[in-house]
Amino acid sequence: MIARLLLLLLFSLPAWAQETLPDPQQEARAVTLGEELRCVVCQSESINDSQADMARDMRLLVREKISQGWTDQQILTFARTRYGDFILLKPPLQSNTYLLWGLPLLFLGVAGVMIWPLFRKRKE
């Protein structure tokens, strides 16, 4: 009975189990990279999260490049030269994204300036 259950468990492993690299360190790199790359079909999901066929291809591609000795940076550059910055789920800090990265700080500053007088008043 237990053997049967174990067998059942073995066959119910998720699909990505077949894609994992034997080296746990390399596999960890593949998982991290997979979190950073956008699925080109679903667009709001990473290739790790997406069930799209092309996301699976990308996961396989990442693992293939890792086992060929590519660095993480080389793999990200590979994806970026083909799909552009949009393939990266975390937008890079560059001239056209300064506003994007800076706005939260700006809002925080404005809110601080607005709230500051209230605190001062309370103390008085």
Partner 1 sequence: MEKSKIKAFTPFIVFALLVVFLVIGLHHSKPQVPKFAQHIGDTAPVTDLPILNGNGARFTTASWHGRPYMINFFASWCGDCKAEHEELMTLAASHLPMIGITFKDKADNVTSYLGRVGDPFIAVAQDDNGRAGIDWGLTGVPETFVVDAQGIIRWHHIGALTDDIARDELMPLWESLTQQ
2 or 113: whose CB is closer to partner 1? 113
29 or 37: whose CB is closer to partner 1? 37
Write the burial class of residue 103 (CB in 10 Å: 0-12 exposed, 13-18 middle, 19+ buried). Answer: exposed
Q: What share of the chain is helix, strand, coil (3-state, %, to 5)?
A: 70, 5, 25
List 1, 68, 114, 120, residue binding partner 1 (CB under 8 A)? 114
Distances (CA, A) of 9 to 6, 13, 14, 22: 5, 6, 10, 20
d(CA 91, CA 107): 19
List 30, 33, 40, 55, residue binding partner 1 (CB under 8 A)? 40
86 or 101: whose CB is closer to partner 1? 86
Taking contact as CB under 8 A, which single stretch among the options 10-18, 40-48, 67-75, 97-105 is the one that binds partner 1? 40-48
* Length in residues, the chain: 124
75 binds partner 1 (CB under 8 A): no
Chain positions contacting partner 1, by CB under 8 A? 40-41, 43, 53-54, 57-58, 61, 82-87, 110, 114, 117
